[in-house]
Chain A
Amino acid sequence: MTTRNSQYSDKKQTPGSDPVRHHPPLPDDFEGEERRDVEDIWKKCADLQPHPVRKPTRKETEIALKSVHRRLDMPKTRPVTTIRSRIAWMAAAALILLTFGIGYLLIPQTVSAPYGERATVELPDGTGVELNSGTTIRYSRLFGIRNRNISLDGEAFFTVESGERPFIVNANRSVVEVTGTAFNIRSRSDDPGFETRVHVAEGSVSLYPAGDPGRKVTLEAGKWSRWNNSMVAPMPPETEAVDRMAGWRDNRFIFRNEPLGSIFREIERRFDIRVQLMEENAASELLTAHYSDPGQPEKIIEDICHVKGLRYSKTANGFRIYR
């Protein structure tokens, strides 16, 4: 290793001369790619506090200082309060308030509909959102001021007020973008491939994979599309009867070519029960079903088992399904 840079050679410090200081203290023996890597590593290690993370607190430090004073027979002292330090305190207090204020604004607002229940929310811009069971939406407290972004895990029907700023739903790995319209999104993080399905009742809506707006599919009223992470682009628009788009709002239970696993999970959410599928292979079998108002879950379970050659038994909190 050569010492190309003289500032790291042993320079003797002589009294009166300024000792050589370097900042940042990375050695200069790295160049090009190596240098960039090392700088990256240096940065990554920044908050890797050495173990243990614990340090004596301010109070423990004061107690220790008192004990040192006693050992040295020093008179008692107090932390010096000068005007300057008082200003520093006030500045610190203001900063803490400001931080909490901003922090508060940065904490997202979360609204959930638990299993077996539904919820209706009105967003600050007047947009109405109906949440199906087991659904969570999250949006900034600044919603409507800076942007109209919202994230969704589950299924919801949106009636978006038109506005200058686009209304954007981040649904797992898909993005749905609109200006003013009514549509249903189903995007459950436990569905295979993070599939998102969008049905448009009024106006028009764009659907694209997150981070890839070039693959945008635009849906007019009466159309639907879907995307999951095994697809390059969303499915070209297909027609769907408007009254079937968000059947859950009228207590309907509608499935079109969906895997049994997803259907059982939807039953769990709708009725707040547990459905245990003991036959793993069956989870990916597809099924189409339509109930106008099933009332009880057992009716659906019974039918599914009949069609798929499965059997079921009741458990304390739901059903167990096996071959």
Chain B
Amino acid sequence: MNNTDETEQRRLADGIRKSDQRAFDELFRAMYPRLVRFAFKITRDWNASCDITQDIFVMLWQQRNNIDPDRSIHSWLYRSVRNRSYNYQRDRRNIADPEMADALTDESYPADVLVNEDRQEALLKRKFREWIHALPLRQRETFELSRFEGLCHQEIAAVMDVSVKTVNNHLTAALKQLRMRYKAYRQASQDQ
């Protein structure tokens, strides 16, 4: 996240607070796809992820008077979507096979073997995905929010409801773990 993003967020948050529908639409167009993808990672249910994200935007507009322009609106969105997705997943797990969600996740690594891509490179990518997936849940979530959603430490802290220091610790631990695995992997492929 850079300063342009931050000013942009503040401008949109201000606009929405003042009932500017165009600001709302702009934020929706920018964030809806990312948030649906984010929700899907938790729920593994496409329609539910779309519904949850739309609900959150409805809620945002209904509660626009309470928006605090000094706080990141992105954090608020991610946090709300995250909470609701976990609730959804918890409720559904009671019905469905609890193994299901994990099984789906494992299956869903995209096949990286594009025709032109170097096989080594593709293999390494696959490995990295596996290693990220194998991280402890909180570490993985922190890493993904930071690396893939581009949130800064403060925003992640707000999303996950922990301190900035904890975010930093999770991220450090995740990177240490990835580094260790990567090292072992390189060692193993050199020995071959």
**B164 and A52 contact, CB distance less than 8 A:** no
Stretch at the interface among A71-79, A91-99, A261-269, A274-282: A71-79
Instruction: Using CB atoms, name the residue of chain B closest to A71.
Output: B58
A102 interface residue (CB < 8 Å to B): no
Tally of A-B residue pairs with Cβ under 8 A?
A: 144
**B32 and A56 contact, CB distance less than 8 A:** yes
How far, in angstroms, from A278 to B40 measured CA to CA in the complex? 53
B88 interface residue (CB < 8 Å to A): no
Chain A, 1-36, CB within 8 A of any chain B CB = 1, 3, 8-11, 13-16, 19-23, 25-27, 29-30, 34
Instruction: Using CB atoms, name the residue of chain B closest to A16.
Output: B70
**A8 and B146 contact, CB distance less than 8 A:** no
> CB within 8 A of B154: which of A13, A54, A72?
A13
A51 interface residue (CB < 8 Å to B): yes
**A67 and B54 contact, CB distance less than 8 A:** yes
A238 interface residue (CB < 8 Å to B): no
A53 interface residue (CB < 8 Å to B): yes
How far, in angstroms, from A242 to B67 measured CA to CA in the complex? 86
Q: Given known contacts A21-B6, A48-B132, A72-B58, what 12 new A-B pairs fall within 8 Å (CB)?
A: A8-B164, A8-B165, A13-B70, A23-B2, A23-B152, A27-B175, A30-B172, A30-B175, A44-B125, A54-B37, A56-B33, A72-B61
> CB within 8 A of A27: which of B54, B129, B154, B171?
B171
Contacts of A27 in B (CB 8 A): 168, 171-172, 175
**B152 and A25 contact, CB distance less than 8 A:** yes
How far, in angstroms, from A80 to B62 measured CA to CA in the complex? 23
Per-position binary interface string of chain B over residues 167-188, scored 1 when its CB falls under 8 Å from any chain A CB and 0 otherwise:
0110110010011001100000
* Contacts A13-B154, A65-B25, A68-B28 given; does A25 touch B146 at CB 8 Å: yes
Chosen A-B contacts, 30 in total, with CB atoms closer than 8 Å, are A3-B165, A8-B168, A9-B164, A14-B70, A15-B68, A19-B154, A21-B2, A21-B6, A21-B152, A21-B154, A23-B2, A23-B152, A25-B152, A27-B172, A27-B175, A29-B168, A30-B175, A34-B179, A37-B183, A41-B175, A41-B182, A42-B175, A45-B132, A45-B178, A52-B110, A54-B37, A56-B32, A61-B32, A64-B32, A79-B25
**B179 and A37 contact, CB distance less than 8 A:** yes
Residues of B in contact with A, size category: 35 or more
A50 interface residue (CB < 8 Å to B): yes
B123 interface residue (CB < 8 Å to A): no
Instruction: Using CB atoms, name the residue of chain A closest to B30.
Output: A61
**B152 and A42 contact, CB distance less than 8 A:** no
Chain B, 21-41, CB within 8 A of any chain A CB = 21-22, 25, 28-29, 32-34, 36-38, 40-41
- Judged by DSSP, the binding face of B is helix
**A42 and B147 contact, CB distance less than 8 A:** yes
- Rounded to whole Å, the gap between the CB of B71 and the closest CB of chain A is 7
* Contacts A30-B175, A51-B108 given; does A68 touch B57 at CB 8 Å: yes
B14 interface residue (CB < 8 Å to A): no
> CB within 8 A of B32: which of A15, A22, A65?
A65
How far, in angstroms, from A15 to B71 measured CA to CA in the complex? 9
**B169 and A1 contact, CB distance less than 8 A:** yes
Instruction: Using CB atoms, name the residue of chain B closest to A67.
Output: B54
Per-position binary interface string of chain B over residues 1-29, scored 1 when its CB falls under 8 Å from any chain A CB and 0 otherwise:
11100100000000000000110010011
- Rounded to whole Å, the gap between the CB of A35 and the closest CB of chain B is 10
**B71 and A13 contact, CB distance less than 8 A:** yes
B105 interface residue (CB < 8 Å to A): yes
- Rounded to whole Å, the gap between the CB of B21 and the closest CB of chain A is 6
